[in-house]
Structure 1
């Protein structure tokens, strides 16, 4: 009998005992999501089965993987996920967007649910209520945030399945695009010639640069002799400060400069040199292309204000600055440029984005192509 007795495990390795009902119970101290340690129990019909589960728990302890003794509430998991997974790895703008959805919608409406007990019906009910309360687009984005957070919980082995992936998100109505026509674009550029940000507007129209990419542009990113522009960063204002970040989707790109952009950029560089001389010691040499009178990057909202002011002075309908980017893609697509090339110029992460946003232009191109079929397949004279 003595020979069949199990040796005691070393300290910290857990214990296995037999319950009154005949089953075996293992107890191990494990790491919790909040950083504390707590006792976790595992059960088995035999000592060996229970020992396997004990060793699995110890492996997670050695790897630093949290093993909650009780499934965490979403109100606990979501802030932990934001601070420990999203913040260190994602862009600040992404963190701010996720945090807003967690604070305003996910925690107030789903926070009391535990990770393991969250079901498909809970997620579907949440989306229906949120869509009624806000919009389909907001509900769709909250669904994406929830799905991403639950994916992280699966990776940490806190849950075995992601129920958000089993629920179809709401269908948001696509935004109606109404970029300027070619004539309207030319009228705008003519009216903007005297504006200090004329070169920025030319780049927005001719190359489809985003506002943050324009503000973040440095002279070191432009080679006027080789006519090449490097999109390496963007400048954003978040939490009251301007900061540099990777381009959207972290897609850095090299784009040839159209000839029409060269002269405005050379003129802008000379104008900036004059401003530097006038500012004297007040000038901050940041290297940015578009700056204030003292060399600091221009404010994002001021770029849009100037854009709107010029459009109004030209008697044009006011559109978003981002719509100038859409206009660039519209003109490129209408000119017969392949969607894959348009995608690379604009820095889209997927070809589907290019195709979805500019479907109306693609349809016009298709209609023109199909019209050739009438000519090619027309019956020859004298044949039935």
Structure 2
């Protein structure tokens, strides 16, 4: 018979059951910040004590150990708060929270982590596709996979069943950015708009909307004609805030001459607005502000873009598609792919090559003209 051993307070206790096995009970933290008693068993005292020590160690490290398999409706909100909120961008948290609230919890929230199966995931994807779209179902798949990966690391489940179910295939949206003539026509139509300089930067440098509005005067060096992209302005969940760039990297872009005059005009215009506002002016270093010096709303920039494009009778595209058009024009001018990637601020060159370049009919016709010259029969 194994000797009786006393454990310190909070370390649990071990005793032998009538069936000959050993049993230990330890109070452990739960995902909801409560404490409950967890029971483990072993064929020998040593085996049971090893399991007990593992529970005590997890307790001291602050790792939750559910006394029963948590429901997804319990685990997903906990995962959002503990794993996503402080480690990811606010935009990412907001997107994940939306999928958890609108799709995951309503459809599979009653399932427990250990009982969730591949069939449940497939039914979820089918339901979300019917309710929203294939792209939304694919994003829900990504969110659930990430949540269960964290559960695996916490040793709450032994495997991630989402990995067994392929994500839905999304048909890529056909990109039809403006060609050179249409881009020039838009800039001509926008010349008298207060946000004209912002549209010039979007067309010539391919800045994202948030990067354009997050630009500060201290980021612009007129003497060296360079512009440093280090911030972006975002509105998420009713909060307008400054954030790092999408890939958290700073990039320096040479400024073409066509951007210098609009930026100088913007600085003069802002100085006049500051003088007119007087004490009502909200001091900031942002390049693009309202009449009282407040940062511009991202949605307002898009609204102005859409209004000007409609008045100019141009094909309807998104403001972000101007960024696509910038990449296409750079490639048409013979700029190397690596340089285009650095200008646009992509983390991988595959993104530049696969998404942000659009081959125009003129480019295709010119390419086939080369084949005409190379392969035609010589007399």
Q: Same fold (TM over 0.5)?
A: yes
Aligned to 1:205: 203
SS of structure 1 residue aligned to 2:168: coil
Task: Please give the per-residue CA displacement for 1:183-231, whole angstroms capped at 9, x wherever unaligned.
Answer: 0011111122111111111000001111111111110111111111111
Is the contact made by 1:229 and 1:256 (CA closer than 8 Å) also made in structure 2?
A: yes
Aligned to 2:17: 19
Aligned to 1:302: 300
Residue 100 (structure 1) shift: 0.9
Aligned to 2:286: 288
Is the contact made by 1:333 and 1:362 (CA closer than 8 Å) also made in structure 2?
A: no
Task: Please give the per-residue CA displacement for 1:235-285, whole angstroms capped at 9, x wherever unaligned.
Answer: 122333321111223233221112211111111111211222222222222
Aligned to 2:67: 69
Indicate which of 169, 173, 182 corresponds to 1:175: 173
SS of structure 1 residue aligned to 2:66: coil
Is the contact made by 1:333 and 1:361 (CA closer than 8 Å) also made in structure 2?
A: no
Is the contact made by 2:176 and 2:358 (CA closer than 8 Å) also made in structure 1?
A: no
Is the contact made by 2:13 and 2:26 (CA closer than 8 Å) also made in structure 1?
A: yes
SS of structure 2 residue aligned to 1:293: coil
Aligned to 2:324: 326
Structure-2-length-normalised TM-score: 0.93
Aligned to 1:234: 232
Task: Please give the per-residue CA displacement for 1:97-125, whole angstroms capped at 9, x wherever unaligned.
Answer: 11111111000000000111111121112
Segment of structure 1 superposing worse, 176-185 or 238-247: 238-247
Which consecutive residues of structure 2, in runs of 5 or more, have no partner in the other structure?
A: none
SS of structure 2 residue aligned to 1:27: strand
SS of structure 1 residue aligned to 2:86: helix
What is the alpha-carbon distance in structure 1 between the residues aligned to residue 266 and residue 148 of structure 2? 49
**Alpha carbon RMSD of aligned pairs, Å?**
2.3
What is the alpha-carbon distance in structure 1 between the residues aligned to residue 190 and residue 305 of structure 2? 8
Q: Does 1:60 align with 2:74?
A: no
Indicate which of 151, 155, 158 corresponds to 1:160: 158
SS of structure 2 residue aligned to 1:265: helix
Task: Please give the per-residue CA displacement for 1:342-384, whole angstroms capped at 9, x wherever unaligned.
Answer: 2221122322222221464399879967976887799999xxx
Is the contact made by 1:27 and 1:40 (CA closer than 8 Å) also made in structure 2?
A: yes
Is the contact made by 2:14 and 2:25 (CA closer than 8 Å) also made in structure 1?
A: yes
What is the alpha-carbon distance in structure 2 between the residues aligned to residue 58 and residue 131 of structure 1? 44
- Structure 1 residue ranges, 4+ long, deviating more than 3 angstroms after superposition: 362-381
Indicate which of 59, 80, 83 corresponds to 1:82: 80
What is the alpha-carbon distance in structure 2 between the residues aligned to residue 106 and residue 68 of structure 1? 21
Question: Structure 1 21/323 Cα, relative in aligned 2: closer, same or farther at 3 Å?
Answer: same
Aligned residue pairs total: 379
**1:93-172 aligned within 5 A:** 93-172=91-170
What is the alpha-carbon distance in structure 2 between the residues aligned to residue 181 and residue 10 of structure 1? 75
Q: Does 1:273 align with 2:271?
A: yes
SS of structure 1 residue aligned to 2:5: coil
**1:251-270 aligned within 5 A:** 251-270=249-268
SS of structure 2 residue aligned to 1:12: coil
What is the alpha-carbon distance in structure 1 between the residues aligned to residue 60 and residue 297 of structure 2? 49
What is the alpha-carbon distance in structure 1 between the residues aligned to residue 104 and residue 6 of structure 2? 46
Task: Please give the per-residue CA displacement for 1:51-70, whole angstroms capped at 9, x wherever unaligned.
Answer: 11111111111111111110
Structure-1-length-normalised TM-score: 0.92
What is the alpha-carbon distance in structure 2 between the residues aligned to residue 300 and residue 320 of structure 1? 13
SS of structure 1 residue aligned to 2:166: coil
Indicate which of 224, 241, 244 corresponds to 1:243: 241
SS of structure 2 residue aligned to 1:250: coil
